[in-house]
């Protein structure tokens, strides 16, 4: 009897550009069926088209677009039902979408709206996404949640000059620990990672890393890490202190 290839599925938020796009590419190259989630349908469509010129899944399929604003619970619900219509399970959820809204403020001046926006997008959205996609993760083989955090979220890396971003990534790291503990009995691994300083719209032109280099640890966690690594923080495929 010929055994059927096992196709794994992954969903990457903020997949239309930057590190998220490179993670989609890396996961397609690793044989995953990829849901590229983008909040702007046109941007998402363009990303899917440009990806399919470069990378396809193991079955030769392009990434599929899911329109998703991670800061909007209704949008998350709609995205979950779109995924449900196509795939019964999800092996990997990559919470990559993020914002860096601290221009011109520091810890002494940052206004509430900026704090709220950063916390909502960078910390609460990955948590709400994990809650919403839990039924699909529970049905998958070796399910994983990968939270794209930052060195600014490590206790030694928080910066008064990027206050809302640092606090939001610190909170995301905390959510990673709590989710990993809660999901361990279900066999679902949860990781946080820093991609390094990456040349993207967020990282700017002076950053030393390419998006592909920034995506490398996420692809490694998706393909090679297991339950033993769950709950930990990584950079360059190496565990780091929170
Ligand atoms: P980027 O180029 O600015 O891309 C950010 C992505 O997040 C975009 O696709 C953006 O969508 C999406 N996004 C933002 N808010 C969203 C929302 N509410 N709903 C859905 N998507 C949303 O940034 P990047 O450098 O690739 O960053 C990706 C992740 O890596 C972020 O979590 C960031 O904090 C982290 N990181 C980056 C660096 C770095 O040096 N670049 C360093 C450490 C950590 P739109 O295109 O629609 O805006």
98 Cα to the center of ligand 1, angstroms: 4
The answer to whether the CB of 97 is under 6 A from ligand 1 is: yes
Calculate how far, in angstroms, residue 18's C-alpha sits from the geometric centre of ligand 1: 7
Q: Is the CB of 230 under 6 A from ligand 1?
A: no
Q: Whose CA is nearest to atom 8 of ligand 1?
A: 14
Q: Which atom of ligand 1 is nearest to the CA of 16?
A: 9
Residue 39 Cβ contacting ligand 1 at under 6 Å? yes
pLDDT 10s digits, 114-132: 999 999 999 999 999 999 9
**pLDDT grade for 2, boundaries at 50, 70 and 90:** very low
The CB density around residue 10, as the number of other CB atoms within 10 Å, is 29
State in Å: Cα 118 to ligand 1 middle: 12
User: If you average pLDDT over residues 140-159, what whole number do you get?
Assistant: 98
pLDDT at residue 151 tops 50: yes
Full DSSP string of 42-104: HHHHHHHHHHHHH---TTSPPPEEEE--TT-HHHHHHHHHHHHHH-S--SEEEE-------TT
Q: Does residue 28 line the site of ligand 1, with CB under 6 A?
A: no
Atom of ligand 1 nearest to the CA of 14: 9
Q: Is the CB of 197 inside a 6 Å radius of any atom of ligand 1?
A: yes
150 contacts 194 by C-beta, under 8 angstroms: yes
Q: Is 163 in the pocket of ligand 1 (CB under 6 A)?
A: no
Residue 96 Cα to ligand 1 middle (Å): 6
pTM over 0.75: yes
Q: Is the CB of 69 under 6 A from ligand 1?
A: yes
Q: Would you call 121 exposed, middle or buried from its count of C-beta atoms within 10 A (0-12, 13-18, 19+)?
A: buried
Dist. CA 59–CA 52, nearest whole Å: 13
38 near 93, Cβ under 8 Å?
A: no
- Residue 3 Cα, ligand 1 centroid: separation in angstroms? 39
Active site residues: 165
Task: State residue 1's pLDDT score.
Answer: 45
| Residues 63-106: tens digit of each pLDDT | 999 999 999 999 999 999 999 999 989 999 999 999 999 999 99
């Amino acid at each position: 009897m010929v055994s059927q290839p096992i196709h794994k599925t992954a969903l990457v938020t903020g997949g239309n550009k930057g590190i998220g796009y490179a993670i989609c590419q890396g996961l397609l190259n690793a044989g995953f069926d990829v849901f590229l989630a983008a909040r702007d349908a046109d941007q998402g469509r363009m990303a899917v088209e440009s990806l399919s010129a470069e990378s396809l899944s193991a079955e030769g399929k392009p990434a599929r677009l899911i329109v998703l604003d991670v800061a909007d619970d209704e949008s998350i619900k709609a995205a979950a039902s779109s995924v449900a219509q196509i795939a019964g399970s999800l092996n990997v959820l990559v919470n990559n979408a993020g914002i860096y809204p601290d221009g011109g403020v520091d810890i002494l001046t940052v206004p509430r709206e900026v704090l709220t926006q950063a916390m909502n997008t960078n910390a609460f959205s990955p948590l709400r996404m994990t809650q919403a996609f839990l039924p699909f993760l529970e049905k998958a083989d070796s399910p994983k949640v990968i939270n794209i955090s930052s060195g600014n979220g490590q206790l030694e890396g928080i910066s008064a000059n990027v206050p809302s971003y640092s606090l939001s990534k610190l909170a995301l790291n905390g959510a990673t620990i709590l989710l990993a503990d809660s999901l361990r009995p279900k066999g679902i691994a949860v990781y946080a990672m820093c991609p390094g300083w990456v040349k993207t719209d967020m990282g700017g032109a002076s950053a030393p890393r390419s998006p592909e280099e920034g995506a490398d640890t996420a692809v490694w966690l998706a393909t090679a890490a297991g339950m033993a690594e769950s709950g930990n923080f990584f950079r360059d495929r190496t565990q780091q202190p929170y």
